[in-house]
Amino acid sequence: MTQLVPPHGGKGLTCCLLEGAERDAELKKAEGLKKVDISPLVKGDLIMMGIGGFSPLTSFMTKADWKGVCDDYLLADGTFWPVPVILDVSKEDADAINDGDEIALFDPEGNEIMGTMKVTEKYELTAAEKKYECEKIFMGEGTPTAEEFWKIAEEDHPGVQVVMGQKAVNLAGPVKVLSEGEYPTKYAGVYHRPEESRKIFEDKGWSEVAALQLRNPMHRSHEYLCKIAVEVCDGVYIHSLVGNLKPGDIPADVRVKCIDSLVKNYFVDKNVVQGGYPLDMRYAGPREGLLHATFRQNYGCSRMIIGRDHAGVGDFYGMFEAQTIFDKIPTPAEEGKALICNPLKIDWTFYCFKCDGMASMRTCPHGKDDRVLLSGTMLRKMLSEGKELPDHFGRDEVVAILREYYEGLTEKVEIKTHKAATGE
């Protein structure tokens, strides 16, 4: 009998991935269906439905689901869910599809049919509805009014750019997933299905597991967060995004090497597991923090480490808004429908020269000048400009890997800093 937290939704892991003869038959059928191109973001969402990472979702969302998620954090059936998961297609494609039709979902970058879908609903989102979604999902305390938000959002917020650039029509309906793309081979040993991470945790005898979300290279602050979690839980799952990021972010294979180096040299092996998941970042700050907790529950984690500016971009969100949002979400009474992966809220962490070690705002009485304020954004900016890093900013082994990566770049991307990165 497992001691781990149950999957979200009360239905166990709802996996839409077909394998063996069943997959072969569906793939053969898919070759004769109308092919619809999907974006990298949709591809990641589809794979997560395939492997059970998005349990209990087995379909792209209906208009009622979309509205319920935006307004109340709830699917139409009353299950907690924090961000829309939709499939957008061109009007030309939508006009050629009728309700009840089956279609093939095609990844043009990988030149592969990723799955099939039975269309149960077609709906359009107007420009005003897309703006409404952006305000509900992406607007935070950093831009407290819609007027302030829209002054910069379309130019500076990658999530807003994705939503406003979506195709004309959304399709809803159940999916059958035929591929996990490149992830099982490219990230062999790191990429996990939820059933695999759960088996690893069970074999280790863990019941309370904390997840660390990573999209940046793992620096000293991340390391400290993990070690706090190890002290209060059975183990920590260092779970990094291996899907797409915005320009200037560091590729997944480089980040995986950095984590490997840290785990090997600075962690007790029995208390830590490294994993990867196939989503693109949405940069939705607090709402994405909730999404991270939701699917980490499916991976077997009971706690989600939430530190400073979780899943943020620019200055759109308050520094700890991703912590306080957990206190404001609905808790459906029906069994399984509420989020039960709880936040592990940790204050801003840093190296303090006077404390002579890692500390946080809650434990360190000293001033800004005594602290090495750690930020993934600042780390990337300094390395991209060839600058020397302050002492204790990162482990030497990690910095060496990152310097090698940056020295090999032929094109540089400007990296903007913001208040959360500079400590202002």
d(CA 170, CA 174): 13
* Closest C-alpha to 125, from 166, 174, 94, 159: 166
d(CA 268, CA 387): 32
d(CA 279, CA 281): 6
Torsions phi, psi for 235 (to 5 deg): -170, 170
Residue 275, beta-bridge partner list: 239
* Closest C-alpha to 253, from 68, 139, 131, 401: 401
Secondary-structure percent of the chain, ordered helix, strand, coil, rounded to 5:
40, 20, 45
* Closest C-alpha to 114, from 33, 38, 24, 55: 38
Q: Spot the catalytic one: 215, 287, 303, 371.
A: 215
Q: How many other C-beta atoms lie within 10 A of the C-beta of residue 190?
A: 22
Residues 6+ apart with CB under 8 A from 80: 8, 73, 74, 294, 329, 330, 331, 332, 337, 338, 339
The DSSP call for residue 251 is P
d(CA 244, CA 283): 12
Residues 6+ apart with CB under 8 A from 53: 47, 193, 194, 277, 295, 298, 299
> Distance between terminal CA atoms of the chain?
49
Is residue 121 within 8 A of residue 172, CB to CB? The reply is yes
- Cis ω for the linkage preceding 56 (within 30 of 0): yes
d(CA 121, CA 424): 48
Q: Count CA atoms closer than 13 A to 23's CA, side-chain side.
A: 13
Catalytic residue status for 215: yes
The H or E element that residue 354 is part of is: none
Q: Spot the catalytic one: 216, 244, 255, 282.
A: 216
Catalogue the active-site residues: 215-216
